[in-house]
């Protein structure tokens, strides 16, 4: 197991769910954290908590990953003590809507494609050259079971996560000959703000997604990510698919109520 002490870890989507859980786990392991998201107050609250409790060194980025110029500016203007990113966790992402493709909302599609695919690509494109130059680094992309199996009305979201899977595979191939590692962590059902975002703030509908099942927690996923990045440097975990015991596929879920 390798130590994360003083390693610089950039986590996108750190203001909620899996990203926040990663921040906690990596902070506890002594990493220096660059936390990115759009909701500044959330980031500040998390930073306050982590720097008070664990004395973590933190650099915050208010960033919309869909904005390529903003991503470029954020990465290129990092202070020298923060610029040598060791681990990039491309976690920012979302689903919007659950509609038949032929009835879907163009706005929802654009948002998912721009965030889940293009945002992930922008971060990767601006961060990985530094890793190549320094001859060290690890990129972790958060995919989904949705990238392995398409479910009814999931069409475009599933398409974006299938793209993440292909992009992770491609990045690994293109980095062959370097020590840089690439991992895709692909969860099933995790209870976060994900469903609330999918249903545009309809909390009742969101709650129903997790009704009668024991879903994964954000900490469960962060734990797996932590495992992947702490293996010996010659080990690359390409892909992890994890789901709750109550789930057997994208559509097969055991509900007790």
Ligand X SMILES: NC(=O)c1ccc[n+]([C@@H]2O[C@H](COP(=O)([O-])OP(=O)(O)OC[C@H]3O[C@@H](n4cnc5c(N)ncnc54)[C@H](OP(=O)(O)O)[C@@H]3O)[C@@H](O)[C@H]2O)c1
Nearest alpha carbon to residue 85 among 50, 59, 55 = 59
Distances (CA, A) of 38 to 20, 55, 104, 238: 13, 24, 25, 29
Shortest gap between Cβ of 78 and ligand X (angstroms)?
Answer: 17
Q: How many residues touch ligand X (CB under 6 A)?
A: 31
The span from the CA of 59 to the CA of 11, in Å, is: 11
Shortest gap between Cβ of 79 and ligand X (angstroms)?
Answer: 21
Q: Which of 22, 46, 87, 115 touches ligand X (CB under 6 A)?
A: 115
The span from the CA of 15 to the CA of 17, in Å, is: 7
**Phi-psi domain of 118 (left: phi exceeds 0; alpha: psi -120 through 50; beta: other):** alpha
Q: Does 220 bind ligand X (CB under 6 A)?
A: no
Q: Which of 97, 130, 187, 244 touches ligand X (CB under 6 A)?
A: 187
Q: Which of residues 53-92 bind ligand X (CB under 6 A)?
A: 63-66, 91-92
> What DSSP assignment string belongs to 199-230?
TTT-HHHHHHHTTTS-PBPHHHHHHHHHHHHT
Q: Does 247 bind ligand X (CB under 6 A)?
A: no
* Segment near ligand X (CB under 6 A); pick from 9-17, 23-31, 50-58, 173-181: 9-17
Containing 164, the helix (H) or strand (E) segment is: helix 155-174
Q: Does 144 bind ligand X (CB under 6 A)?
A: yes
Phi, psi of 241 (to 5 degrees): -110, 120
Would you say 132 or 209 has its CB closer to ligand X?
Answer: 209
| Catalytic (active site) residue 157 | yes
As annotated, the active-site residues are 157
Binding site for ligand X (CB under 6 A): 12-13, 15-19, 37-39, 42, 63-66, 91-94, 115, 119, 142, 144, 187, 189-190, 192-194, 197, 218
């Amino acid at each position: 197991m390798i130590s994360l002490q003083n390693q610089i870890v950039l986590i996108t989507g750190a203001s909620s769910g899996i990203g926040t859980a990663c921040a906690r786990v990596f902070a506890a392991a002594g990493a220096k954290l660059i936390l990115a998201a759009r909701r500044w107050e959330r980031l500040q609250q998390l930073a306050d908590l982590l720097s008070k409790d664990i004395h973590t060194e933190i650099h915050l980025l208010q960033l919309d990953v869909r904005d390529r110029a903003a991503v470029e500016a954020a990465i290129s203007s990092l202070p020298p003590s923060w610029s040598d990113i060791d681990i990039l966790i491309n976690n920012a992402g979302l689903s919007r809507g659950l509609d038949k493709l032929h009835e879907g909302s163009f706005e929802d599609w654009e948002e998912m494609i721009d965030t889940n695919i293009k945002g992930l690509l922008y971060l990767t494109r601006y961060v990985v050259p530094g890793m190549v130059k320094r001859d060290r680094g690890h990129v972790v992309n958060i995919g989904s079971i949705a990238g392995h199996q398409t479910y009814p009305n999931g069409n475009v979201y599933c398409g974006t996560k299938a793209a993440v899977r292909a992009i992770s595979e491609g990045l690994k191939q293109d980095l062959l000959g370097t020590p840089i590692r690439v991992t895709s962590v692909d969860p099933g059902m995790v209870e976060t703000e994900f469903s609330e975002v999918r249903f545009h703030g309809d909390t009742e509908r969101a709650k129903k997604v997790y009704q009668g099942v024991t879903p994964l927690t954000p900490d469960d996923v962060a734990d797996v990510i932590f495992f992947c990045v702490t293996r010996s440097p010659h080990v690359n975990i390409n892909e992890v698919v994890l789901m709750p015991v109550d789930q057997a596929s994208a559509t097969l879920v055991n509900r007790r109520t």
